[in-house]
Chain A
Amino acid sequence: MRSTLWFALVQRTRERLIEPLLWFPFPALIGFGLVIVLRGHLLTGFNHRLGTRADVVHLNAETLTAPGIWISIYQDKDQLVLVTDDHNRFMWPLGTRDMKTLKPFIDYLNKRTAEAAFKQTLSLEIEKDRTRAVLAVDQKLKYIHIRPILFALVEAKISNYGFETRVVN
Chain B
Amino acid sequence: MTALTILQSKILRTKKRLSSNVWYLPIIVLALLLLMTFLSTALRGISMPGSFGIVEAEFPVVTDEKTVNPEETWAQPRATIDNNAAIVILTRDRFYFGQLSSFGKDLSAVHNKFQIPHIDGAPDLPRLVLDLSKWQIEAKAGRSLVFVPTEDIPMPIVIQCFAALKKSGLFDQVILGGGLL
Q: Which residues does A use to contact B, with CB under 8 Å?
A: 15, 18-20, 22, 24-26, 28-29, 32, 36, 40, 47, 49-50, 56-57, 59-64, 132, 134, 137-147, 150-151, 153-154, 158-167, 169
A-B contact pairs, 24 of them (CB 8 A): A18-B22, A20-B25, A28-B29, A29-B33, A32-B33, A36-B36, A50-B48, A59-B160, A62-B54, A62-B55, A138-B155, A142-B152, A143-B151, A143-B153, A143-B154, A143-B158, A147-B179, A150-B178, A151-B179, A162-B57, A164-B52, A165-B53, A166-B51, A167-B53
Nearest 10 A-B pairs (CB), nearest first?
A61-B53, A144-B151, A25-B29, A20-B22, A57-B156, A162-B54, A167-B51, A162-B56, A64-B54, A165-B53
B18 is an interface residue with CB less than 8 A from chain A:
yes
Question: How many B residues, CB 8 Å from partner?
Answer: 43
Q: A18-B17, A29-B32, A36-B36 are in contact. Are A61 and B152 (CB under 8 A)?
A: no
Q: Cα distance A36–B37 when bound, in Å?
A: 9
Give the residue of A18, A36, A160, A164 whose beta carbon is less than 8 angstroms from that of B18.
Answer: A18
User: In the complex, A26 Cα to B30 Cα: how many Å?
Assistant: 10
Residues of A within 8 A of B179 (CB): 147, 151
Instruction: Provide the residues of chain B in CB contact with A161, threshold 8 Å.
Output: 56-59
Give Cα distance in the complex from A25 to B31, angstroms: 11
The reply to whether B55 and A162 contact each other, CB–CB distance below 8 Å, is yes
| Option from A22, A64, A142 in Cβ contact (under 8 Å) with B53 | A64
> Which residues of B, 1-34, contact A by the 8 Å Cβ criterion?
17-18, 20, 22, 25-26, 29-30, 32-33
A165–B55 touching, CB < 8 Å? yes
Residue of B nearest to A95 (CB): B151
B177: min CB distance to chain A, Å: 9
Neighbour of A139 across the interface among B22, B40, B155, CB < 8 A: B155
- A163 in contact with B152 given A137-B159, A150-B178 (CB within 8 Å): no
Closest residue of chain B to A61 (Cβ to Cβ) is: B53
Inter-chain contact B155/A146, CB cutoff 8 Å: yes
Smallest Cβ distance from A98 to chain B, in angstroms? Answer: 15
In the complex, what residues of A have CB within 8 A of residue B44's CB?
40
Q: Which residues of A contact B52 (CB under 8 A)?
A: 56, 63-64, 164-167
Complex interface: chain B residues within 8 A of A160 (CB): 56, 58
What chain B residues lie within 8 Å of A153 (beta carbons)? 59
- Residue on A with the closest CB to B152? A142
Decide yes or no whether B49 CB sits under 8 A from chain A: yes
Task: Determine the chain A residues whose CB is within 8 A of the CB of B158 once the complex forms.
Answer: 143, 146
Q: Does B149 contact A (CB under 8 A)?
A: yes
User: Measured between C-beta atoms, what is the minimum distance from A58 to chain B in Å?
Assistant: 8
Q: Could you tell me the distance between the alpha carbons of A141 and B149 in the complex, rounded to whole angstroms?
A: 13
- Of all chain A residues, which has the CB nearest B10? A11
Q: A25-B25, A142-B153, A151-B178 are in contact. Are A32 and B36 (CB under 8 A)?
A: yes
Residues B176 and A63 in contact, CB atoms below 8 Å apart: no
